[in-house]
Amino acid sequence: MTDPILEVEDLRTEIQIDGRWLPVVDGVTYSVRPGETLGLVGESGSGKSVSAMTLMGFVGRRRGQRLSGHASFRGQDLLGMSERDLGKMRGNDIAMVFQEPMTSLDPSFKVGNQIAEGIRLHQGVSRDEAMRLAIEAMDKVRIPNAKVRADSYPHEFSGGMRQRVLIAMAIANNPALLIADEPTTALDVSVQAQILTLLAEMRDELGLAMIFITHNMGVVADICDRVAVMYAGQIIETGEVRETFADPQHPYTERLLASMPRLRGERRQLEWIPGTPPGPAGFAEGCRFAPRCTHARDVCLEPTTLLEIGGGRANRCTRDVEWKEEVAG
């Protein structure tokens, strides 16, 4: 098995609000290998975006923000890297695709120029060569008639085509790692499926490592190899997608899966998770999901750790540990 290209260990991002430091991301550990997709999944506010933004240097370095832990990309220390070096790495070795294409594109410039500008910045090639590479990237993401379309403005594209432009921009400098943050949420279902397929094709063709951020378990099932389920700033369960979905260990993962609509198979009642996820000011002392958990017991008031259960799987729930101890003892 190839070595991970990105290793994140005990990442913690705190934001100061009303004089209090709040752990928005609290001890997140994961790794990604080339050609592999890790899904970061969880409800709104669980810290998915902030964890990615911290790696990219967008969060954690400003006033009223701080970070700790380790993150190494190809052996280089991302968190200790200067803003300047990190700036060079962004959009080059590590690229990001965001949810809303319109905010990532400048409405007043033609898309070809916008893609070419990023290429010139990172590769130092001539204007003509940059435009040639931009059109090549648009071709790669299957934008029909790329040469002509390079001359269009962002508003002249449909939502799906705009997302393709962003993906073209992301892959234009041959990144090794692509972080996609809810890249399909704003699109309708059929276009969403096309974009997911495209991202999977790009990953396979270019051997990219990918972190895919979403709140949608169905999307995780479609595109990810491994999953890390986030709740209240922590990873509460992680493992191979197939195994985790077949046999979730943490009650929160169970509930997320139960609330996922299925296209095929038996009709069933969709479950929802009562209560709302806590904000960083109101995290519980022990298991953060305990206040919403039907399995909660006294032991859940103790601090949790991510317990390895073999096969690359780990989770924070003590339910089975207790049960195993009972059986053994």
Ligand X SMILES: Nc1ncnc2c1ncn2[C@@H]1O[C@H](COP(=O)(O)OP(=O)(O)OP(=O)(O)O)[C@@H](O)[C@H]1O
Tokens representing residue 54 in the block:
């911290």
Long-range contacts of 285-288 (CB under 8 A, 24+ apart): 287/316, 287/317, 287/318, 288/231, 288/232, 288/233, 288/234, 288/236
Shorter beta-carbon distance to Mg ion: residue 179 or 209: 179
Residues 10-49 that bind Mg ion (CB under 5 A): 49
279 lies in the binding site for ligand X (CB under 6 A): yes
Could you identify the residue written with the tokens 């979730």?
Answer: 248
46 lies in the binding site for ligand X (CB under 6 A): yes
55 lies in the binding site for ligand X (CB under 6 A): no
- Binding span for ligand X by CB under 6 A among 4-12, 45-53, 143-151, 259-267: 45-53
Q: Which of 9, 181, 202 is nearest to 97 (CA)?
A: 181
- Binding span for ligand X by CB under 6 A among 26-34, 47-55, 124-132, 157-165: 47-55
Q: Distance (Å, rounded) from C-alpha 34 to C-alpha 11?
A: 21
Shorter beta-carbon distance to Mg ion: residue 46 or 315: 46
Q: Is the dihedral of CA 285, 288, 294, 299 positive or negative?
A: negative
- The CB-of-84 to ligand X minimum distance in angstroms stands at 22
- The CB-of-181 to Mg ion minimum distance in angstroms stands at 6
91 lies in the binding site for ligand X (CB under 6 A): no
42 lies in the binding site for ligand X (CB under 6 A): yes
Q: Distance (Å, rounded) from C-alpha 49 to C-alpha 320?
A: 30
- The CB-of-328 to ligand X minimum distance in angstroms stands at 37
Among 74, 132, 215, 313, binds ligand X (CB under 6 A): 215
Q: Distance (Å, rounded) from C-alpha 123 to C-alpha 117?
A: 10
Q: Distance (Å, rounded) from C-alpha 174 to C-alpha 142?
A: 17
Residue pair 299/235 in contact (Cβ under 8 Å)? The answer is: no
Among 37, 49, 234, 238, binds ligand X (CB under 6 A): 49
CA 95 to chain centre: 12
Among 48, 122, 203, 226, binds ligand X (CB under 6 A): 48
Tokens representing residue 297 in the block:
């017991």
Residues 9-38 that bind ligand X (CB under 6 A): 15, 17, 24
List residues near Mg ion by CB under 5 A: 49
List residues near ligand X by CB under 6 A: 15, 17, 24, 42, 44-50, 215, 279-280
